[in-house]
Amino acid sequence: MSRAFNFCAGPASLPTEVLAEAQAQLLDWNGRGLSVMEMSHRSPEFVSIANEAQSDFKELLSIGDDYSVLFLQGGATAQFASVPLNLSSPGDRVDYVNTGIWSKKAIAEAKRYCEVNVVATAQDNQFTFIPDQALWAQSNDAAYLHYTPNETIGGLEFDWIPDTAAPLVADMSSTILSRPLDVNKFGAIYAGAQKNIGPAGLVIVVVKNELLGRAREDIPTCMNYSVAAENNSMYNTPPTLAWYLSGLVFKWIKAQGGLSAMEEINRRKAQKLYSAIDGSGFYNNPIAANSRSLMNIPFTLADDKLNSLFLSQAEQRGLLNLAGHRSVGGMRASIYNAVPEAAVDALVDFMGEFERDNG
């Protein structure tokens, strides 16, 4: 069997070693005679899987006991509502930064529950760079400030962490575990699993314990962070298979050398691809150098009429899912942790050949 190189933005590549281990245990987990998918989430076997995954995740990010780590359902999109419902009261003002489509979705959902102050927007510069924080119009009384460190669709990323007196909340779906992170600067972090964590269907929330208990009285019980924390993320049946596979990914990251090693590899991959784009008169990426994403690299061809040919020939070479998001077009290569450096090398080689043939 030959595996293709998958550049999908999500659900994204999973490490081949993780998939092989899961395959070997699919019918019979550790000699128990059943699959993880068939286990009770209350069983000692699955509780041990869950606790070990949580412990490894906390170790990777150096998360202290003053934070709770929650493994929940609904993906990051459900957190667009969960965040204001857990961290603000009716009538509160909350600050948001608009850097792209996912920021906009979070803002639209928060407006259902709060007075939203958009402190800054990259829309004014066609989403090509992150606005300088010195120009932000932050509130003095915000319940929290929310931002999206990396926009997967536009390829716009913060290379710094905002400074704010209010609790800082971040949607890290596409950057979590790709590099070291000072979690202590955040009130809450949430991340959909299907990029650097595991398969779709799971979201991890890291929330400072002092923020628990702020939830509104009418919040749905299964969305309440305090309830989740008190029940070890098992108030209801969790996405057990996704939790198990995520745990295998955490061990795989540790085996690679941890987050510092992942950052070194990821920066090298991104540099190779950006160099190929910038060194060409055929390809283009419009994002300012200090706002470019390490995880999602969009680019256009000199002639949009060549897009279909580029994609079909790329697929013939085993380079999959390179089409840009429908809202922006062009191409996009998502190079998350599990995308090997060899995949980027193969893509760069193909891009060079395609330019020579069609430039």
Q: What is the pLDDT of residue 125?
A: 87
Q: What is the pLDDT of residue 354?
A: 97
Residues of the chain with pLDDT under 70: 1
Active site residue ranges: 102, 171, 195
Q: What is the pLDDT of residue 124?
A: 87
pLDDT tens-digit readout, 134-145: 999 999 999 999
Domain boundaries of the chain, sorted by first residue: 17-255, 258-358
State the SS3 of the chain.
CCCCEECCCCCCCCCHHHHHHHHHHCCCHHHCCCCHHHCCCCCHHHHHHHHHHHHHHHHHHCCCCCEEEEEECCHHHHHHHHHHHHHCCCCCEEEEEECCHHHHHHHHHHCCCCEEEEEEEHHHHCCCCCCCHHHCCCCCCCCCEEECCEECCCCEECCCCCCCCCCEEEECCCCCCCCCCCHHHCCEEEEECCCCCCCCCCEEEEEEHHHCCCCCCCCCHHHCHHHHHHCCCCCCCCCHHHHHHHHHHHHHHHHHCHHHHHHHHHHHHHHHHHHHHHCCCCEECCCCHHHECCCEEEEEECCHHHHHHHHHHHHHCCEECCECCCCCCCEEEECCCCCCHHHHHHHHHHHHHHHHHHC
Record: fold of 17-255: Aspartate Aminotransferase; domain 2 (3.40.640)
CA 315 to chain centre: 25
Q: What are phi and psi of 348, to 5 degrees?
A: -60, -45
pLDDT tens-digit readout, 209-220: 999 999 999 999
Q: What is the pLDDT of residue 1?
A: 58
Superfamily of domain 258-358: Aspartate Aminotransferase, domain 1 (3.90.1150.10)
C-beta of residue 204 within 8 angstroms of C-beta of residue 57: yes
Alpha carbons within 13 angstroms on the beta-carbon side of residue 7 total 31
Burial 126-161, CB ≥16 within 10 A → b, else e: ebbbbbebeebebbeebbbbbbbbbbbbbbbbbeee
Q: What is the pLDDT of residue 225?
A: 98
- Say how far apart CA 166 and CA 283 lie, in whole Å: 41
- Say how far apart CA 327 and CA 197 lie, in whole Å: 25
Omega of the bond prior to 238 within 30 degrees of 0, cis? no
